[in-house]
Amino acid sequence: MASEVEVAVLALGRGQYVVEGERAYRFCPKYPTVNIISPEEELRSTQTEFLAIALRKKDFHLLRREGATLVSLSLNESEKHGTWKHLASTYDANSASLKAGIHFPGPRVLNFADILKYNYVALPQLITELLETMHETMGGPIDLEYAVQLKSMSQPFVDFYVLLVKPMIGQTSAINLDI
């Protein structure tokens, strides 16, 4: 019997980055301290911008659909606001490694280290329990979409929202079409 391991994806900002396959952080909720890729690859593939609701935007065109009220922001700019205090690590070129936190000089990598590796909040455990419960309830693998909001950067409190739960469709096979 093959062992199945779930993969979760995290991104800062709206979930559009995850849904559309943009740069986001992938990890195994059951083994959150295990690195799936090398630090160098994490640096190359890290999220560099995020979508946020433009609260100050007064002039927008609703024909642009959801993009009408969104703004794309640079992660470098958001660091000044403390937005990702517990979300990023710093790449150390001398040791080719990542140091959790942003109080070191060097490029930033959005890898949610305080949360995933140092248990700032128990997000991996929550995701694992939800996946196991939903797998049992639905009788097979599931797709779980969620949103997390840190209540405060100084206190480890989160709001966790389940956005979608659906069963995953079984294995697909190639189909040859004779047009």
90-95 mean pLDDT? 95
Within a domain: 148: no
Q: Whole-number mean pLDDT of the chain? A: 83
Inform me whether the pLDDT recorded for 86 exceeds 70. yes
Inform me whether the pLDDT recorded for 177 exceeds 60. no
Terminal CA-CA length for the chain = 39
140-157 mean pLDDT? 80
101-110, 133-142, 155-164: segment of lowest average pLDDT: 155-164
Within a domain: 129: no
Within a domain: 155: no
Buried b (16+ CB within 10 A) or exposed e, 160-175: eeeeebeeeeeeeeee
Within a domain: 163: no
Within a domain: 161: no
For residue 55, give its domain range.
8-120
Within a domain: 115: yes
pLDDT of amino acid 1: 37
Nearest alpha carbon to residue 37 among 20, 55, 24, 51? 24
**Residue 105 or residue 5, greater confidence:** 105
pLDDT of amino acid 136: 92
pLDDT of amino acid 62: 66
Which residues have a Cβ under 8 Å from the Cβ of 104 and sit 6 or more positions away?
90, 92
Within a domain: 35: yes
98 φ/ψ angles, rounded to the nearest 5 degrees: -110, 135
pLDDT digits (tens, 9 = 90+) for 107-137: 999 999 988 998 888 999 999 999 999 999 9
**Residue 4 or residue 175, greater confidence:** 4
pLDDT of amino acid 97: 95
pLDDT of amino acid 59: 74
Domain count, the chain: 1
**Residue 12 or residue 15, greater confidence:** 12
pLDDT digits (tens, 9 = 90+) for 43-63: 999 999 888 777 777 776 666
Within a domain: 166: no
pLDDT of amino acid 43: 95
Q: What's the pTM value of the predicted model, to 2 decimals? A: 0.78
